[in-house]
Structure 1
Amino acid sequence: MPMAAQAGLDVCNDTDLRQSVAIGYEAPGGIWTSEGWWQLAPGECKTVMARAFDRQYFYYRATVQGGGFDGPFSFCSTSGAFTIEGDTDCAARGYDSTRFRKVDTGEAADFTLTLVADGASPEPDDPDPVYNEEDLPLESAVPFPRGSLGEPFTQSGIFTGCELIDGLDFCSFEIEGWRYHAYYGGGSADSILDDLQNWPMPLAVEIEGDMVNYGDITVEVALARVTEVFDGDFFAEERRMLQGSWQSVDDPEAKFTIAGADVYDYYGGEFIGHQWMTLGGTCPDAPYEGVGFTRTELETQESWCEHLGEVTADRLELIIPELGDVLTYRRVD
């Protein structure tokens, strides 16, 4: 069992290997800062920030000799002890650009990150296991002969909700930038779509069925099965926080609403556009790395990408990569 850590931001090593740990965070004044390395023996805890932690998010990197580590966020580092201000132009300043992962502290003043092994030894089978309902993934399935309605498929993606548009009831999924729609009367059993009406969204899922028809970025599908995938969305927290309505701080006439993966643009109260949203890695041709927030206009198929900055319960920052300009929004729903 790891030894007790001190108050502040702590890291505990609950693995059997010695870990080298670095952290990244936004310092006062909006300066992105990285620090390292702390060496943690198995079972050891160390305080990496000995003060109340006043940010909801921080970033970390934990490596073992000969091991790898990946994440979508980049900070500057060196092989020796370091404290580096700024997370851009690492190589030009004589530093390495290394990958970090994000941690949500829930805005706690004291927080402990516990490092665990990637894979735990399996427990012996229980001859009479007892499962709580919350331990099981959501699933709805009504099989039909695969290939009877179109091209068979099995893919993972994000369930983005169900809606009624132009008199058509359907449920949607975002899969690798495509819009997958399953319509009532379109080959999917009504019971599957009825179940989906009550599922939370956005939600990582695996779906299987037949592809019935294709459009520009839309695929019409008949569903045979939809199954929740635990921890299947790397951007689950960002996707969840983005849901709702946002108003520009600089131009209060500009607003948009995100529902699932649909983005509805308004100006002066008038609807002006409908886009399909995807979250992923760094925007193309961006001079630095980040989480890409890509929107594709459904009418014209025009796409553009911005980087996510700060995303909280009431504040959203979108960064134009080429210019570094920050667009700030406040939640209005």
Structure 2
Amino acid sequence: MKKRYYYYRANAGGTAFASGEYSFCTTSQAFTIHGDSNCAARRYETQGFRKLDTGETATRFTLTLNAAAGAPAGQPPAAPQGSAPGTFGEPYTDNVILQDCHSDGQRACSFHAGGTKFFVYDDGRTPQFVFAAMEALDPGTPLTVEGDLEAVYDRTADVVLRDAAVRPWTEHDGLLNKLQGHWYSVDDPNAQFTVLGAERDNTYDGAYAGREYLSVSGWCQDFDGSGPYLYAREEETGEDYCYVIDYVDHLELTLMFLPRGNLLQYRKLD
């Protein structure tokens, strides 16, 4: 394969059942369109697409789109109230961290667990109360979710949910909450990052340097017992890193990078 990432959408019976958070200009004919802004002014439509990660080493890849079990061909899948676990994929229940909700192209919410970013789309299968519940919450809110795991990629996954509820905050949830905000390195103030929810956006001298998925727990890879640990997984490459959270308050942060053990000191800008 020449490319790793592809963008796709699919319709059934005139209704989109595979579309997502990435918006592009489209037309009903075969097209090559440069740029994804000012679509209407250029007489194009704006449509939502999903991002497909085929992996770092794949030479061939097949994507199969199926309607929900029992749904007539060409019809959107039915909402899952009362549906049995496993209707739309492998049954899935987990404690997660809410990332965000948006309605750009298609209504969707995302959350993090264990270095993976999960997406749930408003395609008729997840009840509306689940979206309403998540949309009312701030990024970084701890949740318990229940549903079906529809598809798993390298660092992301698609889920259909039956329920989502705020769970009691743990000590690790509280530490992640303390990391929220904009920080700069004491040793090199040009090195900065912003934590929102369970994502860290890194910059250097104002230039974007990549995003990482975060989690805080009592272990990280082979390290266990002297935490708490901050686990960071790069969005694009999948490389992962472990840190001990040595100290954090509303203004200062000290991380110990493992396995070298060097201390990294940061101060908050906001």
**TM-score (norm. length: structure 1):** 0.52
| Contact persistence 1:146–1:152 (CA under 8 A) | no
Counterpart position of 2:127: 189
- The C-alpha deviation readout for 1:113-162, integer Å capped at 9, x for no partner, is xxxxxxxxxxxxxxxxxxxxxxxxxxxx9725235752252423123231
| Contact persistence 1:142–1:225 (CA under 8 A) | no
Q: How far off its partner does 1:260 sit?
A: 0.9
Instruction: Give the alignment partner of residue 192 of structure 2, picking from 252, 255, 264.
Output: 255
- The C-alpha deviation readout for 1:260-309, integer Å capped at 9, x for no partner, is 11111111111110111111224445597222111111111111111111
Work out whether 1:278 is the aligned partner of 2:215: yes
Q: How far off its partner does 1:321 sit?
A: 2.9
Residues 303 and 208 (structure 1), Cα distance of their counterparts in 2 relative to 1, 3 Å cut? same
Q: Structure 1, unaligned stretches of length 5 or more?
A: 1-140
Which residue type is aligned with residue 160 of structure 2? Answer: A
150-159 or 269-278, larger mean C-alpha shift: 150-159
Counterpart position of 1:145: 83
Work out whether 1:289 is the aligned partner of 2:229: no
Q: Which has the larger radius of gyration?
A: 1
Which residue type is aligned with residue 157 of structure 1? Answer: N
Counterpart position of 1:311: 248
Q: How far off its partner does 1:219 sit?
A: 1.5
- How many percent identity over aligned positions? 26
Instruction: Write the distance in 1 (CA, Å) between the matches of 2:186 and 2:102.
Output: 31
| Contact persistence 1:149–1:222 (CA under 8 A) | no
Q: How far off its partner does 1:183 sit?
A: 1.9
Instruction: Write the distance in 2 (CA, Å) between the matches of 1:207 and 1:288.
Output: 28
Q: In angstroms, what is the RMSD of aligned CA positions?
A: 2.7
Higher relative contact order (CA 8 A, sep 6+): 2
Instruction: Write the distance in 1 (CA, Å) between the matches of 2:90 and 2:188.
Output: 47
Instruction: Give the alignment partner of residue 111 of structure 2, picking from 161, 173, 198.
Output: 173
* 3-state SS in 2 of match to 1:250: coil
Instruction: Write the distance in 1 (CA, Å) between the matches of 2:255 and 2:108.
Output: 30
Instruction: Give the alignment partner of residue 160 of structure 1, picking from 73, 93, 98.
Output: 98
Q: 5 Å matches for 1:33-72?
A: none
Aligned residues: 192
Work out whether 1:236 is the aligned partner of 2:236: no
